[in-house]
Structure 1
Amino acid sequence: MSVNVVLVAVVGTLFAVGVYLLLERSLTRVVLGLLLISNGVNVLFLIASGGAGQPPIVGSSAPERMSDPLPQALVLTAIVITLGVTAFLLAMAYRSWQLHEHDEVQDDVEDALIRRRAERDEASSSYDDSAGGTLDERGADPAGESTQDSRDGDGAPIGPEGETP
């Protein structure tokens, strides 16, 4: 079996451009990247299936000359799945346009905080193992603030003015 080098180059180009577009901030470019990658996968399926053969109808030709219908079924299934995912991403991009008048995905505040802490090589305040127990048992939320009443050194609750009840 010989492979068509031009089709392999087309698959490589579709994948490369698709991955580049997926890494962009705009949801429209993400949709285009997804479409290019899915088309690259479909062409790859057809390349891997081999050359064209006779129709897979029993009695019309010899079994060794028939083409395999499985790659064609996989490509049709991939087309349907890509259509559904594309419709979902387009709906997200349209909703983002309605709300913010652009379709760019913003950085998450927590992601930025984690990135800054990683650059400084420090752990978050919620990762204190010396207190023992889990965050829920200690009553702390992920931001590190206590959700229960403050307590003094003996474990007695401290009121708003600092006195113990």
Structure 2
Amino acid sequence: METLITILVGILVTVAVYLLLSRSLIRIIVGSAVLSHAVHLLLMVMGGLKKGSAPLLDENATSYTDPLPQALILTAIVISFAVTAFLLVLGYRTYKETGLDDSKELRGFTDE
């Protein structure tokens, strides 16, 4: 299962890099969101997909799950949501002010 999720992380990173290297602002924003989801999955795989009881002080449980990866993923989800919301507002305001969505035109390049 961990190998399958690791391959999925690789595919998501590939798609995210492709979107981040495009010229459209909305594709760049979607690429950053996909990359953040890939990081969430990577954190989950690095923590290990173990089955066990909650990490409470109980003498009957034989194995415990580590709560640290869950806390890291929750923090990363909140941060990526805030960054994506900020980038969406920034992209919207840029489009409203300039009427452009192309990143090369926003930089002032007219011919290539």
Q: Which of structures 1 and 2 has the larger relative contact order (alpha carbons within 8 angstroms, sep 6+)?
A: 2
Deviates more, 1:5-14 or 1:94-103: 94-103
Q: CA RMSD in A?
A: 1.9
1:6 is aligned to 2:9: no
Q: Which structure shows the higher helix fraction?
A: 2
TM-score norm. by structure 1 comes to: 0.59
Q: 1:26 corresponds to which residue? A: 24
CA distance in 1, matches of 2:45, 2:22: 29
Deviates more, 1:18-27 or 1:98-107: 98-107
Q: 1:39 corresponds to which residue? A: 37
Taking a change above 3 Å as real, the CA distance of residues 61 and 45 of structure 1, as seen in their structure-2 partners, is: farther
Letter in 2 for 1:59: D
Instruction: Output aligned runs, 1:1-165, within 5 Å.
Output: 4-50=2-48, 51-59=50-58, 61-62=60-61, 65-106=63-104, 108=107
Gaps of 5+ in 1: 113-165
TM-score norm. by structure 2 comes to: 0.84
CA distance in 1, matches of 2:103, 2:96: 14
Corresponding residue SS for 1:57: coil
Per the TM alignment, residue 52 of structure 1 is displaced from its structure 2 partner at its CA by 2.8
CA distance in 2, matches of 1:44, 1:76: 13
Number of residue pairs the alignment of both structures matches? 107
CA distance in 2, matches of 1:30, 1:60: 50
Corresponding residue SS for 1:55: coil
Deviation per CA, 1:119-151: give whole Å up to 9, x if none: xxxxxxxxxxxxxxxxxxxxxxxxxxxxxxxxx
Q: 1:139 corresponds to which residue? A: none
Letter in 2 for 1:18: A
Letter in 1 for 2:4: V
Identity %: 40
Deviation per CA, 1:52-108: give whole Å up to 9, x if none: 32111222654x611110000000110111011111110111012212223222363
